[in-house]
């Protein structure tokens, strides 16, 4: 049954509150608020930005460095066994991080590319972060429903309020400091991820170019910066701000590209191809950003207006105007409210350990205790009333012992399965370098701009995921490899020496890189292959 709930997205620049209920296939919006602030942490953000209405039951979004979304492939096992596997996974992560973590998991929809296995989405959050949010919610008068990753809330906003077709769509919520991204195919979630990097990338670039504070840089970004191709600038300052924003736009583009490649490696869908990209969040409002990303990604990029199908008739006129102004930023909060209101929504519900224990006690343990007391009384009465019933109890005990032996054998096999799963995880970690392919390409471009000798130019530059024997990247263990084709202008003297000097600078700049280059027979052209992610070179055996 649908219930009224509030979705809360606490950002580093604005707090968003959406209250209502999902009923009859439509979300009925009853309250909305947005509270801008400049707080430095979660506790300050809660104190600095209030909703102005009674929050009631609330679902709070989680993102940032203290939230980890992982993927695990497991055999199709019963629910109790899956819970045990995930508990071991969480204990391993918590032990390695040295911090208490809370978690929840859910299965991704079945995929035709994956047979006889399930893919589990496991979300973990630092307990300290949950406590800060819980204290802030209590201080604001709200009641905690659960915490959920903002990326999962974004998925629910898409399935409930987006135009879902038979295509693969990347949806990105661009916050100030964080980027929440999902990949969906039709109505099915393929991948969810939270990254560091959002509108602050543009603020930092403009602040560095102008030599001003980040606050002033943010104002310049809003007032002047544009990523429109061929834009006519009104002033030198607008041109200066826009060119600074282009560099940050390249970083954002690399983050989105690396997300697609990381999805391919994590979920093992090698033929994945994105058909469309949707943007929301405050950072999506930057002028020209959709067209800029569309040019880089080679697919249409549009803004995601989730509120066009939301019933907002109950809002006061001034609140409706505020919603229209901040509707891009409020998409995640809408998804959170929908998750809390719709019992059929795809759910990840993270709770602090104390809250989970209390709910489990009220919801199940207390009844188990009462049942145990009744059982003991019944067994006593049975033993007192009839010897035959006592014999039956002994027979049942014998059966339970047999089941116990079988359970121990199942437990042993489960531990073997966990060990195998850990090995698979180590193998998968080798593919984590895909997330750095965009960084590799951006770093190499900066090096070329700074150190390529005069008279040389680059004809083509491409980054591909492939193998290369000379770079020690074997087939089946592909890595991101950059290929550069360049040439020298006719009349340049000492081409070979200049090219050799440039290669030396390249090795100095990237000492961990593996590279091979080959000049053309005429000497005026060259080809260079490079990767920063080659496997470590084998250690030579010591002399006997």
Q: How far apart are the C-alpha atoms of 77 and 91, rounded to whole Å?
A: 20
| Mean predicted confidence (pLDDT) in 381-405 | 76
Q: What is the pLDDT of residue 353?
A: 82
| pLDDT per position as a tens digit, 446-496 | 989 888 888 888 989 998 989 998 888 998 888 899 999 999 888 787 888
- DSSP character at residue 113: T
**3-class secondary-structure state, position 475:** coil
Q: What is the pLDDT of residue 383?
A: 66
Contact 467, 446 (CB under 8 A): no
Q: For residue 395, is pLDDT > 80? A: no
Is 409 within a domain?
no
Task: State whether the Cα torsion 144-145-150-153 is positive or negative.
Answer: negative
Quick one: which of 352, 498, 341, 512 has its CA closest to 436? 512
Is 118 within a domain?
yes
Whether residues 444 and 527 share a domain: the answer is: yes
Task: Give 9's contacts (C-beta < 8 A, 6+ positions apart).
Answer: 15, 16, 61, 150, 153, 330, 332, 333, 336
Q: What is the pLDDT of residue 362?
A: 58
Quick one: which of 341, 281, 280 has its CA closest to 311? 341
* CA 421 to chain centroid: 22
Q: How far apart are the first and last CA of the chain?
A: 76
Is 342 within a domain?
yes
| Mean predicted confidence (pLDDT) in 512-534 | 88
Is 327 within a domain?
yes
Element (H, E) at 32: strand 26-36
Tell me the two tokens of residue 298. 């080679």
Task: Give 283's contacts (C-beta < 8 A, 6+ positions apart).
Answer: 174, 175, 176, 198, 199, 202, 289
Q: For residue 143, is pLDDT > 50? A: yes
Is 395 within a domain?
no
| pLDDT per position as a tens digit, 3-25 | 899 999 999 899 999 999 999 88
Whether residues 315 and 370 share a domain: the answer is: no
Q: How far apart are the C-alpha atoms of 27 and 310, rounded to whole Å?
A: 5
Is 51 within a domain?
yes
Whether residues 39 and 127 share a domain: the answer is: yes
The pLDDT mean for the chain works out to 88
| Residue 22 bridge partners (DSSP) | 27
**pTM greater than the 0.75 cutoff:** no
Q: What is the pLDDT of residue 363?
A: 53
Q: For residue 28, is pLDDT > 50? A: yes
In the structure, what pLDDT confidence band is assigned to residue 268 with cuts at 50, 70 and 90? confident
Whether residues 330 and 374 share a domain: the answer is: no
Pairing of strands 56-62, 142-149: parallel
Q: What is the pLDDT of residue 433?
A: 54
Tell me the two tokens of residue 393. 């109890």
CATH number of the domain encompassing residue 99: 3.30.420.40
Q: How far apart are the C-alpha atoms of 510 and 469, rounded to whole Å?
A: 20
Contact 452, 503 (CB under 8 A): no
Q: How far apart are the C-alpha atoms of 274 and 264, rounded to whole Å?
A: 11
SS3 content of the chain, % helix, strand, coil (to 5): 50, 25, 25
Pairing of strands 276-280, 188-196: unpaired
Domain count of the fold of the chain: 3
Contact 177, 198 (CB under 8 A): yes
- Angle of CA points 421, 427, 429, to nearest 5°: 105
Whether residues 136 and 25 share a domain: the answer is: yes
Q: For residue 175, is pLDDT > 90? A: yes
Is 88 within a domain?
yes
Whether residues 314 and 378 share a domain: the answer is: no
Whether residues 345 and 368 share a domain: the answer is: no
Tell me the two tokens of residue 115. 């047979």
| pLDDT per position as a tens digit, 62-85 | 999 899 999 888 888 898 899 999
Whether residues 338 and 461 share a domain: the answer is: no
Whether residues 340 and 488 share a domain: the answer is: no
Q: How far apart are the C-alpha atoms of 393 and 380, rounded to whole Å?
A: 11
Element (H, E) at 418: helix 387-429
Quick one: which of 482, 476, 483 has its CA closest to 431? 476
Task: Express as a percent the part of the chain with pLDDT over 90.
Answer: 52
Q: What is the pLDDT of residue 103?
A: 92
| pLDDT per position as a tens digit, 344-381 | 999 899 998 888 777 766 555 555 566 666 777 667 66
Contact 284, 295 (CB under 8 A): no
Q: For residue 386, is pLDDT > 90? A: no
Which has more pLDDT, 439 or 35? Answer: 35
Is 313 within a domain?
yes
Task: Express as a percent the part of the chain with pLDDT over 70.
Answer: 90
Whether residues 365 and 445 share a domain: the answer is: no
CATH number of the domain encompassing residue 474: 3.30.1360.100
Q: How far apart are the C-alpha atoms of 102 and 336, rounded to whole Å?
A: 19
Element (H, E) at 443: helix 437-451
In the structure, what pLDDT confidence band is assigned to residue 544 with cuts at 50, 70 and 90? very low
Q: For residue 314, is pLDDT > 70? A: yes
Q: How far apart are the C-alpha atoms of 233 and 242, rounded to whole Å?
A: 9
Domain hosting 370: range is 353-385
Whether residues 376 and 503 share a domain: the answer is: no
Whether residues 128 and 58 share a domain: the answer is: yes
């Amino acid at each position: 049954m649908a219930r009224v709930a509030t979705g809360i997205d606490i950002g580093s620049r604005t707090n968003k509150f959406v209250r209502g209920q999902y009923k009859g296939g439509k979300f009925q919006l009853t309250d909305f608020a947005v509270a801008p602030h400049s707080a430095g942490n979660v506790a300050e953000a809660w104190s600095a930005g209030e909703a102005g209405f009674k929050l009631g039951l609330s679902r709070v979004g989680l993102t940032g460095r203290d939230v980890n979304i992982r993927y695990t492939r497991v055999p199709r096992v019963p629910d109790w066994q899956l819970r045990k596997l995930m508990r071991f996974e969480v204990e391993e992560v918590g032990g390695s991080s040295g911090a208490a973590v809370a978690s929840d998991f859910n299965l991704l929809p079945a995929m035709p590319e994956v047979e006889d296995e399930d893919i589990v989405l496991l979300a973990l959050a630092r307990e300290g972060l949950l406590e800060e949010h819980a204290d802030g919610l209590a201080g604001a008068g709200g009641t905690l429903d659960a915490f959920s990753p903002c990326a999962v809330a974004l998925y629910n906003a898409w399935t409930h309020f987006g135009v879902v077709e038979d295509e693969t769509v990347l949806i990105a919520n661009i916050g100030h400091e964080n980027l929440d991204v999902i990949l969906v195919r039709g109505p099915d979630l393929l991948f969810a991820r939270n990254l560091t990097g959002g509108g602050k990338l543009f603020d930092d670039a403009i602040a560095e170019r102008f030599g001003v504070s980040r606050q002033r840089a943010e104002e310049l970004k809003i007032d002047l910066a544009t990523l429109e191709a061929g834009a006519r600038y009104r002033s030198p300052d607008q041109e200066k701000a826009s060119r600074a924003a282009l560099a940050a736009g390249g970083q954002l583009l690399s983050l989105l590209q690396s997300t697609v490649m990381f999805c391919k490696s994590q979920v093992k869908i090698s033929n994945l191809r994105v058909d469309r990209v949707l943007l929301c969040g405050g950072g999506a409002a930057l002028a020209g950003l959709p067209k800029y990303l569309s040019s880089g990604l080679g697919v249409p990029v549009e803004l995601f207006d989730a509120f066009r199908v939301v019933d907002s008739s109950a809002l006061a006129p001034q609140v409706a105007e505020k919603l229209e102004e901040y509707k891009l930023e409020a998409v995640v909060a809408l998804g959170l409210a929908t998750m809390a209101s719709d019992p059929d929504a795809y759910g990840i519900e993270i709770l602090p350990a104390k809250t989970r224990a209390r709910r489990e006690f009220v919801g199940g343990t207390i009844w188990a205790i009462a049942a145990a007391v009744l059982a003991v009384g019944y067994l006593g009465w049975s033993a007192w009333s009839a010897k035959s019933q006592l014999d039956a109890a002994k027979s049942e005990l014998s059966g339970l012992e047999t089941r116990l032996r079988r359970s121990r054998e199942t437990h042993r096999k489960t531990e073997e399965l966990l060990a195998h799963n850990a090995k698979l995880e180590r193998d998968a970690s080798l593919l984590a370098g895909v997330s750095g392919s965009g960084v590799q390409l951006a770093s190499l471009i900066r090096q070329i701009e700074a150190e390529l000798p005069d008279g040389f130019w680059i004809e083509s530059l491409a980054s591909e995921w492939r193998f290369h024997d000379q770079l020690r990247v074997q087939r089946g263990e592909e890595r991101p490899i950059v290929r550069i084709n360049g040439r020298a202008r006719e009349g340049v003297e000492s081409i070979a020496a200049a090219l050799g000097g440039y290669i030396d600078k390249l090795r100095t700049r990237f000492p961990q890189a593996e590279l091979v280059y080959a000049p053309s027979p005429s000497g005026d052209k060259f080809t260079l292959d490079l990767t920063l992610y080659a496997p470590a070179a084998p250690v030579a055996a010591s002399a006997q």
